[in-house]
């Protein structure tokens, strides 16, 4: 059996105890990747074997000398390809960055490296994190390990699939509108998006700057808590980073939801939600109730505004964030051009895929003079109303329980033709990004096709601990 079947913490313990070495773990991981990649395509870049093994050896030395004590010392990890890694190709799954090797490493990745995690590769994603299926990647679609005719979700589909397929024990993803939680849900793994400002965005190639957060994707809640604890940092290089002294998330791994007040937004469970997903969720809610949580239905309202507000704000920010990919300084540049304007035009036409172009155009439109007030400012107003609705809900409840996605993983090739329908699939996840709330996706059973269903637990800002505690309790109660 591959060592990648273990959780990150289990593997970390085996390495710490000397049962296996970091080099063995890395070798085993690379072997698992080699075996699975032809079917899954979870990676854009698998790091060179020699350099991975050398890195693992260095880590092992530090473990031996007692210098490295972290629970993931020596554990291999995969990083979503929108986080900069010095000397390792970082493409955002786009042609326009197909030759980009960053001169520096993202802070979150640095946190993992100082904890002794060994980077084995960069995972596939929707181009610039724009998409919910990992099909918009320049490097081809990633397949869902549970059913290879289906998508893994997105945009962190590569990270979720790599964990689910046992190619790595854990991975980093990023979540702008559900991009950690939704693929975690579709792949039957756990993913958490922390409160905005908890994990540094320095080195994360920006999509929607006010929405983006990095988070872990792993096999269970314990891993997620431990990894989140490691990558959380107050970073002076990120002005939106928040100074917190409560990031000891593993202390929340308690099997106890007694007296916890959980709200169920009735409007999340109406039309549009697949009936099998609904049933799985309500069963999961019952488990929490049986452990002493108090469940209550309420009306969150405003849900219909979340998706349009999100797509306006995210696209507006993206249209500006992606301007820098212009062929001048790095990345892809078109072969032939007669002047600067043509160079820009051809480079960007050839370098970006359809979905990215669509969102750049959408974002440029909503920011243009004459439309700014009607779209961008209105979206900000909607965001404020949604925040008020959540503030009100959190006045009554400790947590909100809901679906991650209206359905389980769709078949490959069925989503991109109808972008509006695809966007509406984000209906349950985007609010957490608009407001900055922490939210987790935990597997809660399967549908009749055997596809995983995820449950989303959303907490108050800075209250990851309650989210983790409830998710952990559910996981413990449903373990076979």
Residues with a catalytic annotation lie at: 80, 155, 179
Smallest distance from another protein to CB 121, Å = 18
b/e per residue 21-52 (b: at least 16 CB within 10 A): bbbbbbbbbbebbeebbeebbbbbbbbeeeeb
What is the smallest separation between the CB atom of 210 and another protein, expressed in angstroms?
4
Q: What is the closest distance, in whole angstroms, from the C-beta atom of residue 114 to another protein in the complex?
A: 18
Minimum distance, C-beta of residue 418 to another protein, in the bound complex (Å): 28
Cβ proximity of 108 and 172 under 8 Å:
yes
Q: Is the Cβ of residue 4 or residue 205 nearer to another protein in the bound state? A: 205
Strand partners, 459: 399
Distance CA 178, CA 432 (A): 8
Q: How far is the CB of 422 from another protein (least distance, A)?
A: 24
Residue 235: Cβ-neighbour burial (10 angstroms; 0-12, 13-18, 19+)? buried
β-pairing verdict for 76-80 and 118-123: parallel
In whole angstroms, what is the distance from residue 394 CA to residue 461 CA?
Answer: 10
Footprint on this chain of another protein (rule: CB under 8 A): 82-84, 90, 92, 97, 100, 102-104, 106, 201-206, 208-210, 236-240, 316-317, 319-320, 323-326, 328-330, 340, 344, 364, 367-369, 372, 376
Token pair, residue 139, equals 């490097």
Q: How far apart are the first and last CA of the chain?
A: 20
Q: Which is nearer to another protein, 307 or 313 (CB)?
A: 313
Q: How far is the CB of 187 from another protein (least distance, A)?
A: 25
Q: Are the C-beta atoms of 408 and 184 separated by less than 8 Å?
A: no
With respect to another protein, which residue has the nearer C-beta, 245 or 373?
373
For 301: left if phi > 0, alpha if psi spans -120 to 50, otherwise beta; the answer is left
Judging by DSSP bridges, how do beta strands 190-193 and 439-446 pair with one another?
antiparallel
3-state secondary structure of 171: strand
Q: Do the bridges between strand 76-80 and strand 213-218 make them parallel or antiparallel, or are there none, so unpaired? A: unpaired
Tokens of 415: 């989503």
**Residue among 209 and 478 whose Cβ is closer to another protein:** 209
Decide: 233 and 200 in contact? Cβ < 8 Å.
yes
Closest CA to 178 of 319, 343, 362, 311: 311
Residue placing its CB nearer to another protein in the complex, 205 or 293: 205
Which of residues 354 and 368 has its CB atom nearest to another protein in the complex? 368
CB-nearer residue toward another protein: 97 or 262: 97
Sign of torsion, CA 321 326 330 334?
Answer: positive
Q: Which helix (H) or strand (E) holds 9?
A: helix 8-16
Q: Do the beta carbons of residue 454 and residue 273 sit within 8 Å?
A: no
136 Cα distance to chain centroid: 16
| Least distance to another protein, CB of residue 426, Å | 19
Q: Minimal distance in Å, beta carbon 79 to another protein?
A: 12
Q: Is 236 exposed, middle or buried (0-12, 13-18, 19+ CB in 10 A)?
A: exposed
Q: Is the dihedral of CA 137, 143, 145, 150 positive or negative?
A: positive
According to DSSP, the residues that pair with 232 across neighbouring strands are 199
CB of 245 to another protein, least distance (A): 20
How far apart CA 407 and CA 426 sit, in angstroms, is 11
């Amino acid at each position: 059996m591959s060592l990648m079947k273990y959780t990150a913490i289990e593997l970390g313990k085996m390495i710490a105890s000397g049962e296996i070495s970091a080099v063995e773990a890395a070798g085993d991981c690379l072997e698992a990747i080699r075996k699975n990649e032809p079917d899954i395509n979870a990676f854009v870049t698998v790091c060179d074997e020699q350099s991975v093994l050398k890195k693992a050896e260095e880590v092992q030395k530090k473990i031996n000398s007692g210098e490295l004590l972290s629970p993931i010392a020596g554990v291999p990890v995969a990083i979503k390809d929108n986080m900069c890694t010095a000397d390792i190709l970082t493409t955002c799954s786009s042609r326009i960055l197909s030759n980009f090797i960053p001169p520096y490493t993202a802070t979150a990745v640095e946190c993992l490296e100082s904890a002794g995690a060994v980077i084995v590769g960069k995972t596939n994603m929707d181009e610039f994190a724009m998409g919910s299926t990992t099909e918009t990647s320049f490097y081809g679609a990633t397949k869902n390990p549970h059913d290879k005719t289906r998508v893994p979700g997105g945009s962190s589909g590569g990270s979720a699939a790599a964990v689910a397929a046992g190619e790595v024990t854990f991975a980093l993803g990023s979540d702008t509108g559900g991009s950690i939680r939704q693929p975690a849900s579709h792949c039957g793994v756990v993913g958490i998006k922390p409160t905005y400002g908890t994990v540094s965005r320095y080195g994360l190639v920006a999509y929607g700057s006010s929405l983006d957060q990095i988070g872990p994707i792993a096999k269970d809640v314990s891993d997620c808590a431990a990894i989140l604890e490691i990558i959380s940092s107050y970073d002076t290089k990120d002005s939106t980073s928040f100074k917190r002294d409560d990031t000891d998330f593993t202390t929340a791994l308690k099997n106890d939801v007694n007296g916890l007040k959980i709200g169920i937004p009735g409007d999340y469970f109406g039309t549009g939600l697949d009936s099998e997903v609904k049933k799985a969720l309500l069963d999961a809610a019952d488990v929490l109730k049986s452990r002493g949580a108090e469940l209550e239905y309420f009306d969150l309202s405003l849900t219909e505004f979340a998706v349009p507000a999100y797509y306006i704000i995210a696209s507006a920010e993206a249209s500006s964030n992606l301007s820098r990919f212009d062929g001048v300084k790095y990345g892809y540049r078109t072969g032939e051009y007669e002047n600067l304007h043509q160079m820009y035009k051809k480079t960007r036409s050839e370098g970006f895929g359809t979905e990215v172009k669509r969102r750049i155009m959408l974002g440029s439109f909503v920011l243009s003079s004459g439309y700014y007030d009607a779209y961008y400012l209105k979206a900000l107003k909607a965001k404020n109303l949604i925040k008020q609705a959540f503030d009100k809900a959190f006045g009554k409840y400790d947590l909100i329980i809901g679906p991650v996605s209206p359905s389980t993983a769709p078949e490959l090739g069925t989503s991109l033709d109808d972008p509006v329908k695809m966007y509406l699939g984000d209906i349950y996840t985007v609010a957490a990004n608009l407001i900055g709330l922490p939210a987790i996706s935990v597997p809660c059973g399967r549908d009749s096709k055997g596809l995983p269903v995820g449950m989303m637990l959303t907490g108050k800002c800075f209250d990851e601990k309650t989210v983790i505690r409830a998710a952990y309790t559910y996981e413990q109660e449903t373990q076979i």
